[in-house]
Amino acid sequence: MSAIITMRSLSRSHAKSSKSGMTLVEIIITMTISLILVTSVLSFYIQFYKIGFVNEQRNRINRDIRQLTSELTRAGKQANDFFIYNSIANSDRDTPADRRLDGSSGDLLILTYNADSTGQLTEQIVGYYRLADSADADALGPLLRFTVTFNPASDLPVEQLIPDQDLLPNQDMVVELSKGLSEGHLFYNFLGKTIMLNGQIFHGNNAKRVTETYNYSISPRG
């Protein structure tokens, strides 16, 4: 009788153990489902972050475009003349022969403002230059601006009015990162009368760059 009771007790204990525990297969299935859920959630958040990051960079690009357009419209229309050079390097803009004429392009734009209607005296120059990180056509670099005022006004050639690269005053960053699309340059001389900008503006980081193409033209009043 005692043996029968013991056997029944063992049977009940085994049944309870089977109901309260999980088999190896059940554990694997549960872990697999959990892993799928975690992966899906992470994938969603990563995608959400990427979309938010791209939108943020596009907003920054649009801000740069608005600022650059506003600046060039104001400065360009008030200027009496313009000159384009290959780069800000001293050797690229120290003689009149360095001027980029109709149909050519460069990364340095100089706007000049005359002191009177004769056009013989210059009272101010405003320069925009792209500081590319190499001579490669695909090189990126910031777009910077400087202003020089002359008192009294000067009758020197514009090349002698541009300060040495190491002595440029009051430089402001206009665009954080840009690329020139006119033979690798940003500014294009159209018919000697119009400045055309053709480039790309970049924002982001080394892992992800966001870019937009920028085209704009302005003609000084002469």
pLDDT tens for 160-187 read 999 998 888 778 889 988 999 999 999 9
Torsion of CA 100, 103, 109, 112, to 10 degrees: 80
Instruction: Residue 190: count other Cβ atoms within 10 Å of its Cβ.
Output: 13
Radius of gyration of the chain (CA): 33
Higher pLDDT, 48 or 88: 88
Nearest to 129 by CA among 149, 106, 150, 148: 106
CA–CA dist 151, 121 (Å, integer): 11
Residue 2 pLDDT class (50, 70, 90 cuts): very low
- What residue spans define the domains of the chain? 2-47, 64-218
**Is residue 37 over pLDDT 90?**
no
Q: What value, to the nearest 5°, has the Cα angle with vertex 167 and ends 162 and 172? A: 85
Calculate mean pLDDT across residues 108-133: 92
Mean pLDDT computed over 102-113: 96
